[in-house]
Structure 1
Amino acid sequence: MEIKTNISKLMKPSTPTPFNLRNYGISFFDEQMHNMNTPLILYYTSSQKSHNDVHANIFNHLETSLTKTLTDFYPLAGRYMRHGSFVDCSDQGALYVQATTNFRLSEFLGLTWELKYNMLHDFLPCDIGEAGETDDPLLSIKVTAFECGGVAIGMCFSHEVSDMDTMSTFIDNWATRNRGTNALELEKYSPIFNFANDYPKRDQLDLNHRIPRSSIRVKTSVRVFSFNANAISKLRERLMFKDDRRRRPSKIQLIVSLLWKALEGVDKAHNGQSKASFVQQGVNLRDKIVPKVPDNSCGNFVSVAIARVEPGQVNNIDLHGFLMILNDSIKKIESDYAKALMSTNKEYEVLMEPFLEYSRNIANNDVNFYAFTSWCKFSFYNADFGWGKPVWRSTGHYAATNFVLLMDDQEGDGVEAWVHLDEKHMCKLEQDLDIQAYAI
């Protein structure tokens, strides 16, 4: 199976960015993000038979709609100036790669997990670590055409200036343009860039753990554990007491608590004793303040909720206990953090604390640190470029361990957990009784 790159070039906005928008200032929340790209790949089938003119038409149409989308999302065509903490929006362009395969999409999707996962990097235009330098594009795209006429669109968005809400808004804008511009619908996906004004950067020290430029040599085992709607319903029933129906746990909190408990059991079995344990969950802040921030507000507007269990507690906490600790960490974001966001003077000491706690513990060998992020309920699952909804979607290779990415399953009401762990721990995790009871 071969993927051949035919074109690699920089795509500029169809309309030059006005001079008054040349310098795009980053926000306080942009300032906290890693120097990394966020990878996403969407896979589409096609009812058309494959031949060169069909592929050419797909490529040409995507290029034209992309340049128009970049006019709206002009910072993504610029370059990040780290020393000045701003984006130079002089239309250097987004990286755009065209490729073709000698196999069908169904052949790829039918591969074993190991073979399929090892190929994901080939559908992306760059590595996730190729970000943060002056000459690194803030957006890179690779469009790969299959023999059957299907298409894979691989995207890497710089986390310096975009979160998953931003990515979804961009994809919705591009897809709407590509299938035929509907001015009213397109208006929903026109970006708003206000976070730097509302939450200006603080020129904090660079506390972020540096991401390797290449993930190829990073030895991490990756497995996808799938929890369908029926399994989640059974898990929810197990963890909700009949006399406490006030807070119905989300499917995300259920799966995070299940995995956290299992991971702690694996670590204790491996080391013979328990450590302090931290879980970090990414939190979208757009719906945490009043009035709610529009979904098409672009840039990073996320924080982290930190949950902690002390060494002596681990052995005495059941699954419901882990869930309650996670819920308490989210409640803190919804109360104290939300108040700090909405205060007139912006309480930056409160806003900064979760990021500081993350920085203090991620490289601490005396604690177990697990990072969870959720891509559930975002609009990219329905992104229609004119060929219908994606038949599959995936991320790429992360140079990370003790990291879990949660995604909706194909039906939309279940969860796929992409777990990144070292191989020895992964084998033990697969044997955990709760994992075996609920994962399919």
Structure 2
Amino acid sequence: MEIKTNTSKLVKPTKPTPLNLRNYDVSFFDEQIPNLNVPLILYYSTAQNDVHANIFNHLETSLSDSLTDFYPLAGRYVRDGSFIDCSDQGALYVQATANFQLSEFLGLVWELKYNMLRDLLPCEVGEAGEVDDPMLYVKVTTFECGGFAIGMCFSHKLSDMSTMCTFINNWATRSQDVSNALELEKYTPIFSVPRDFPKRNLTDLSPRMPRTSLMVNNPARIFLFKGNAISKMREKIIFEDNQGHRPSKVQLVLALLWKSFVGIDKVNNNGQSKASFLSQGVNLRNKAVPKLPDNLCGNFVSVAVAQIEPSEGDNIDLQGFFTVLRDSVKKYDIDYSKALMPGGKEYDVLIKPFLEHTQNMIKSDVNFYTVTSWCKFSFNKADFGWGKPVWKSIGKFAAQNYVILMDDQEGDGVEAWVHLDEKRMHQLEQDHDIKAYAV
């Protein structure tokens, strides 16, 4: 099974970026984000015979149109000045062909499939932040059956998942045969965050990713929690909410995973418990009052750090872990809503979670886990004219103690992409609670 790269080129915006938009200053939130690429691969199944003949040019043309709207993605990040030079140098666009069918790839055992993800992406996750690194890479790979995969890497200095989805849906809408002006308007970006929350020229404390992961062997596994398993977890949780909400599937799965992590860490520390921290990404668009639109682009995220003390880990059950996670997100809700109001800009409130995350991550006497949830985001439905994706994946991360959550294909379950060392991964696979709920 081989994937062959045929051509690589820089795709520029259809229309040149006006001079008054040439320098895009990053925002306060962008400043907190490490220089890395966020990978996403969408897989499409089609039996149309003419797909391979026109798909590369078709997607290139619509990509160029979308870059006119998302002009910073065609620029280059200048680290010294903390701005994007919107020079229209372009996004890197790679065309590739696979000598096998999409169904063959999807049917591979996990280890083989995971190792092939690198070949479906246009670059390494760490290839970001230098002055000649594109802000967006795209790789379109066609399969013998007519199916294809779109592998994308977005510079995190500009793009959080909400921004990525706005771009993907803009591109997908432009790729469809029938023009839909109202749909396109929903996915037209708003680049107002740097104006409303200007950069503070803070010291860049974000970790540096290695440029390549070739020598890094970090095991990853998908633990699939189907909708019926999540329903069983809900039955174990007492949830007090006068608004009629029920426990979210994300926090239920996280509570179960974190409970297992704490138990495994104790076993590997000769029966001694350490403090355990779990950091979750938080989409601030949902925290503002009133809620801000999804097409507000740029990073508009924070983190919520939950903590279990050594003396607590042995004495709390799934309910306890769930409550700690829920409270860690809720504790900043009121402060966030005030700090995000027009004229608020309470930077001390906004910077506190980032500092808490960084300080705890580098401590040697604690166990620290980072979680990102991509559940409920719209990339699952991106239709470029050939239907919705039949699967989606990330790429290989040079990371440990890292979890990405995504919706399963049915939408009511969760795929947990877990990155651990080999020993703890095996222990997690044998964990009683994980085996009870995960496929």
Q: TM-score, normalised by structure 1?
A: 0.97
Question: Do the aligned partners of 2:338 and 2:344 also contact (CA within 8 Å) in 1?
Answer: no
Give the aligned partner of residue 94 of structure 1.
91
Structure 2 runs not aligned, ≥5 long? none
User: 2: distance between equivalents of 1:9 and 1:238?
Assistant: 53
Give the aligned partner of residue 178 of structure 1.
175
Question: Do the aligned partners of 1:209 and 1:359 also contact (CA within 8 Å) in 2?
Answer: no
SS at 2:276's partner residue?
strand
1:211 to 209, 212, 236: 209
Question: Do the aligned partners of 1:240 and 1:248 also contact (CA within 8 Å) in 2?
Answer: no
Give the aligned partner of residue 365 of structure 2.
366
Q: Tell me the CA shift for residue 248 of structure 1.
A: 2.0
**Which amino acid in the other structure matches residue 238 of structure 2?**
M
Structure 1 runs not aligned, ≥5 long? none
User: 1: distance between equivalents of 2:131 and 2:26?
Assistant: 15
1:157 to 143, 154, 157: 154
Give the aligned partner of residue 13 of structure 1.
13
Matches within 5 A, 1:36-435: 36-49=36-49, 54-180=51-177, 181-240=179-238, 248-272=246-270, 273-342=272-341, 344-435=343-434
User: 2: distance between equivalents of 1:341 and 1:9?
Assistant: 40
**Which amino acid in the other structure matches residue 436 of structure 2?**
A
User: 1: distance between equivalents of 2:334 and 2:419?
Assistant: 31
**Which amino acid in the other structure matches residue 239 of structure 1?**
I
**Which amino acid in the other structure matches residue 28 of structure 1?**
F
SS at 2:311's partner residue?
helix
SS at 1:35's partner residue?
coil
Map Cα deviations across residues 327-373 of structure 1 (whole Å, 9 max, x no partner): 11111132222222226341111110111111112122211000011
User: 2: distance between equivalents of 1:19 and 1:145?
Assistant: 38
User: 2: distance between equivalents of 1:54 and 1:40?
Assistant: 22
Aligned-pair identity (%): 68
Q: Tell me the CA shift for residue 218 of structure 1.
A: 1.8
User: 2: distance between equivalents of 1:8 and 1:65?
Assistant: 17
Question: Do the aligned partners of 2:288 and 2:336 also contact (CA within 8 Å) in 1?
Answer: no
User: 2: distance between equivalents of 1:3 and 1:219?
Assistant: 21
Q: Tell me the CA shift for residue 399 of structure 1.
A: 0.9
CA RMSD of superposed structures (Å): 1.4
Map Cα deviations across residues 159-215 of structure 1 (whole Å, 9 max, x no partner): 000100000010000001101321121111111000001111111111111111112
Q: Tell me the CA shift for residue 33 of structure 1.
A: 0.4
User: 2: distance between equivalents of 1:197 and 1:243?
Assistant: 36
User: 2: distance between equivalents of 1:243 and 1:374?
Assistant: 22
Q: TM-score, normalised by structure 2?
A: 0.97
**Which amino acid in the other structure matches residue 54 of structure 2?**
N
